[in-house]
Amino acid sequence: MSLYRRLLLLVGPLTLLAFLAPAFYAHFTATSRLVYDTEHLLRQMVLRRAADADVFFTRLEQIPNTFAAGLTRRPPSTTEHIFSILEDAFSPCPDAFGGTLAYEPGAFEPGQHFFSPYVSRAEGGGFDHAMISPETGAYDYFLEEWYAEPKKRQTGYWTKPYFDEGAGNIYMSTYGVPFYLEADGPISGVATIDTPTAEVIQRLLDVAADFGEKAYALIVDAQGNYIAHPNIDRVLQEQNVITLGLESSKDDAESAAWRLLRQELEKGDVWQHRMRSLEENGSWVLVAGAPIKATGWYYILVIPEETVLGSTRKRLYVMLGVMFVFLAALLFTLMVSVRRFLAPIHQTMALARAIRDGDYSIRVSLSRKGEINDLVAALNEMAARLADRDDELRRRLSERGDILRRVAVTTGELTSVADQVAASSRSLSCDADAQKTLFDLFQKTADRLTSDAATYARDATRANEMVQAMQEAVCDGSREMARMNETAGRLAIAAARIGTIVKSIDGIAFQTQLLSLNAAIEAARAGRAGHGFAVVAGEVRMLAGGSADAAQMSSTLLSETRKEADESVEQGRRTEERLTGIRASADRLIEVMSLISGLAAEQSRTLTEFVAELGKLREIAGRNAVNAAENASASTQLHVTAAQFETLLSAGSDEKDTIRQSR
């Protein structure tokens, strides 16, 4: 970056800051003062408007309060008397549209539930009379706000503005106050006055003349419900300013401001805030409120912040425009002055660049006097001295060139020898690596064979042990089969003996049957006297028949048992012969497994000795590889050293050529 640009970047922002800082300070001071004055004026205006409304409503309150107090002293006795009292009270006050004396059930006449004479101004002048009662087509006034609230509160109460269709759809408010026909008696009814509030509210809401067209006012009750607003829809829809504010809040700070406003409405204090507008643009506004004490409502004035600060911002923009014009002129003058100041410096820099590039023939002369002129003279003298030294340097470079050429020849020979040594070392290193790899392969194979041989030996030993265990099991089986054959023989002998006994039992049963038959014959001969004996003989014959049958069955079972015992003996003999053959085979298998185990152990010892010899050969091959690698590294280092030396020689030659060319 040139010196000219650096000066502009340094001086320009400083100058701009020097002009803008006072301007913004003045704007900030003026804005703060204007906001303070506006807030003060806003507070005074709110108090004044709230006081005007309070005076208006207080003056109207005095009318029903006065004749309500007079009813205690002189209660009216007829309807015409009540109409007269109302007309006399409303005639002096043009703001009073009408009113009534609404009595409690039976308070005017016993047994009369509704009694509420109503007086209202007629269009042509004078007053109209009516009765408020469901019997006359009107409404139940006991349920209306203007009657129920004063009765409940036991004090005066203003209703919210409403449209009275019966009175010609007039926008009005009603003030009701309880009255008593007896000093210490119960409430007798409510005295009211109706006033058209459209005109007074319009007068209160009209703030454009004082604060501009965008400013507006509104009236709310202590809960934030709209009483009056330039947008009548908000009143008719019974909207709440606090609820709308909380719903439109964009962050916690705005929500807190609306909650604080609700607290101030409930306290009845005078307040002012800066908050977001509830209109569509959502801009910042200055808001102030004051209570209308007579009604308990709040008068609120809203002024857009842009309306207050608009003129100040316009003055700031005009001031900034003037300042930018002045600053542009100042910067233009500064640029011209800097260019004239930097011209000799640029000439001096051109001379310095020529000396840097080796051109010592250029000379610069300045018409001005001063430090820059002295600097140019010193540069001219330096150029002359450098020209003389350049000639001397050319001569010395020529002599050094001859020396460098001779050294280059020697270096080339050294490089050739280094290449040959490196080639031999690389070949030896490759052979050593191949031998090492081969020995590693042998080592792995021998290790695997040794492991397999050891495994075979262990397997042969376990197989021998298993065969011996099998031989012992076969011997135990042979002994058990012999004992089983012996038991089967004894069983056959016992069965033969039992068969002999069964035959004897069968013979005894046969003889018993013969005896019982003879006894039966003898009993038959004896007649009736032998009848009992015949029965006994029959029973004996039956028992003898059962014994013969049992003996026959036992004989059959014993024959089968003897046959099976003989078969068991024969099968046991054959099994014993087979076990004897298995034992002989096991003896031969034991001999073979013992031989295999011995051979496996011998193979394992042989392979172990082979692995040890391979390890020695591998160590020898490793030492050869290391020696070959060291030789290759040394030859490579020698080659690198020669190459570096050649590079130095080449650099010296190039430097000499460069110096010659630059001169």
- The better pLDDT of the pair 470, 289 is held by 289
Rounded distance between C-alpha atoms, residue 289 and residue 590, angstroms = 120
What's the whole-number mean pLDDT along residues 140-144? 90
Q: For 474-514, write each residue's pLDDT tens digit.
A: 677 777 777 776 776 777 677 677 778 877 877 787 788 78
pLDDT at 188: 92
What's the whole-number mean pLDDT along residues 119-128? 86
pLDDT at 313: 60
What's the whole-number mean pLDDT along residues 291-297? 88
pLDDT at 370: 62
What's the whole-number mean pLDDT along residues 636-658? 65
pLDDT at 124: 79
pLDDT at 155: 92
- Strand 127-131 with 98-103, pairing: unpaired
- In this predicted structure, the answer to whether residue 163 has a pLDDT above a threshold of 90 is no
- In this predicted structure, the answer to whether residue 74 has a pLDDT above a threshold of 70 is yes
* Angle, CA 570 vertex, CA 564 and CA 575 arms, to 5°: 120
pLDDT at 259: 87
3-state secondary structure of 344: helix
Rounded distance between C-alpha atoms, residue 659 and residue 663, angstroms = 6
Q: For 400-434, write each residue's pLDDT tens digit.
A: 666 666 666 666 666 676 676 566 666 666 766 66
Rounded distance between C-alpha atoms, residue 301 and residue 289, angstroms = 6
Give the HSE-up count for residue 145: Cα atoms under 13 Å, Cβ half-sphere.
Answer: 10
Mean pLDDT of the chain: 77
What's the whole-number mean pLDDT along residues 48-71? 89
Kindly indicate the confidence band of residue 316, based on its pLDDT and cuts at 50, 70 and 90. Answer: low
pLDDT at 575: 76
Rounded distance between C-alpha atoms, residue 494 and residue 488, angstroms = 10
Residue 311 structure tokens: 């003129």
Rounded distance between C-alpha atoms, residue 179 and residue 70, angstroms = 9
Show Cβ contacts of residue 48 under 8 Å, excluding neighbours closer than 6 positions. none
- The better pLDDT of the pair 19, 594 is held by 594
Q: For 508-540, write each residue's pLDDT tens digit.
A: 877 887 887 787 787 788 777 777 777 777 777
Instruction: Go through 468-500 and write b for each residue having 16 or more CB atoms within 10 A of its CB, e for each that does not.
Output: eebbeebeebbeebeebbeebeebbeebeebbe
Rounded distance between C-alpha atoms, residue 325 and residue 319, angstroms = 10
Q: What percent of the chain has pLDDT over 90?
A: 9
What's the whole-number mean pLDDT along residues 112-126? 88
Instruction: Go through 344-358 and write b for each residue having 16 or more CB atoms within 10 A of its CB, e for each that does not.
Output: beeebeebbebeeee
* Residues forming a β-bridge with 286: 274, 303
Kindly indicate the confidence band of residue 444, based on its pLDDT and cuts at 50, 70 and 90. Answer: confident
- In this predicted structure, the answer to whether residue 1 has a pLDDT above a threshold of 60 is no
Q: Which of 211-220, 550-559, 587-596, 629-638 has maximum average pLDDT?
A: 211-220
Kindly indicate the confidence band of residue 600, based on its pLDDT and cuts at 50, 70 and 90. Answer: low
pTM: 0.45
- Strand 271-276 with 216-220, pairing: unpaired
Q: 249-253, 261-265, 276-280: which has the minimum mean pLDDT? A: 276-280
pLDDT at 156: 92
Rounded distance between C-alpha atoms, residue 531 and residue 520, angstroms = 9
pLDDT at 189: 94
Whether the CB-CB separation of 455 and 539 falls below 8 Å is answered with no
Whether the CB-CB separation of 411 and 659 falls below 8 Å is answered with no
Kindly indicate the confidence band of residue 380, based on its pLDDT and cuts at 50, 70 and 90. Answer: confident
Quickly count: other Cβ atoms within 10 Å of residue 183's Cβ.
Answer: 7
Rounded distance between C-alpha atoms, residue 470 and residue 491, angstroms = 31
- In this predicted structure, the answer to whether residue 364 has a pLDDT above a threshold of 60 is yes
Q: Which long-range contacts (CB under 8 A, 24 or more apart) does 467-475 make?
A: 467/586, 467/589, 467/590, 467/593, 468/586, 468/590, 470/586, 471/583, 471/586, 471/587, 471/590, 474/579, 474/582, 474/583, 474/586, 475/583
- In this predicted structure, the answer to whether residue 656 has a pLDDT above a threshold of 60 is no
pLDDT at 605: 75
Q: 30-34, 35-39, 551-555, 583-587: which has the minimum mean pLDDT? A: 30-34
- The better pLDDT of the pair 5, 526 is held by 526
Nearest alpha carbon to residue 410 among 631, 641, 635: 641
Kindly indicate the confidence band of residue 320, based on its pLDDT and cuts at 50, 70 and 90. Answer: low
Kindly indicate the confidence band of residue 168, based on its pLDDT and cuts at 50, 70 and 90. Answer: low
Rounded distance between C-alpha atoms, residue 591 and residue 544, angstroms = 70
